[in-house]
Amino acid sequence: MRYLFLLISLLSFSLKAQVAQHCGYDFTSYFVVNAHEAGQKESVKGLKIKVVNAFGLDVINVNNLYSWTDSNKPLQFLANYKIDDLGNKISVNSNVTKERWYFPFAKESYLLSIKSTFPADDFFIKIEDIDGAENGGDFKTQTIKLNPFNMYVLCSSKARETQFGPKMNRPIDVVLERK
């Protein structure tokens, strides 16, 4: 009986040691873009931001090659939004007592979910203010080179956070110019 208890105890501890703790964002990273006017902190709303290649063509997420979401669609940024306590998106006219950003790390910015293996060095982001949109096309189009350090790696170890070079998990700061 003693040997049976000892065997069960050892198996129990062995199984617990083999279960790895995972983060909800494993294998996922984000690009965050803070696009604003010079001297302003508020993000400009109504912009179209997408990932393009060296020729300026949209990058398509063929069979979820670059992102776990939006298969076979262009990689396009979305504006972060606020939610209530139940996780529902808050509209402009909503009257709620407590609100928070859906992605708290992005605040009032644009973001794009990508795989952690995304080859950032190969691509650019294109920021456009489309005529007829919220800003009326007041801002010049800009194309900016992406880098691996632009990626928000949400499940990372301390060793990765304390590397040499530019700090990770910082938004891509874009200063927009008027036409």
Task: For residue range 37-82, list pLDDT tens digits in order.
Answer: 988 888 888 899 999 999 999 999 999 999 999 999 999 999 888 8
Please report whether residue 77 resides in a domain.
Answer: yes
Please report whether residue 123 resides in a domain.
Answer: yes
CA dihedral 51, 139, 46, 117 (to 10 degrees): 20
A 10 A CB-CB count for 109 gives 22
Please report whether residue 51 resides in a domain.
Answer: yes
Please report whether residue 140 resides in a domain.
Answer: yes
Question: How does pLDDT run across 158-174, given as a tens digit for each residue?
Answer: 435 545 556 667 789 99
Domain count, the chain: 1
Sequence-ordered alpha helix ranges (H) in 2-65: 2-18
More confident residue, 163 or 27: 27
Range of the structural domain that residue 141 is part of: 22-176
In this model, does residue 143 exceed pLDDT 90?
Answer: yes
| Torsion over CA: 144, 152, 59, 179 (sign) | negative
pLDDT band at 17 (very low <50, low <70, confident <90, very high): very low
In this model, does residue 127 exceed pLDDT 80?
Answer: yes
What average pLDDT does the segment 147-156 reach?
79
Across the chain, what does the average pLDDT equal? 80
The pLDDT score that the predictor gives to residue 57 is 97
Please report whether residue 7 resides in a domain.
Answer: no
More confident residue, 136 or 57: 57
Residue 74 and residue 53 in contact, taking contact as beta carbons nearer than 8 Å: no
Please report whether residue 31 resides in a domain.
Answer: yes
More confident residue, 86 or 58: 58
**pTM (predicted TM-score):** 0.76
- For residue 56, the domain's CATH number is 2.60.40
Name which of 170, 168, 65, 172 is nearest 114 in CA terms. 65
Please report whether residue 84 resides in a domain.
Answer: yes
Please report whether residue 139 resides in a domain.
Answer: yes
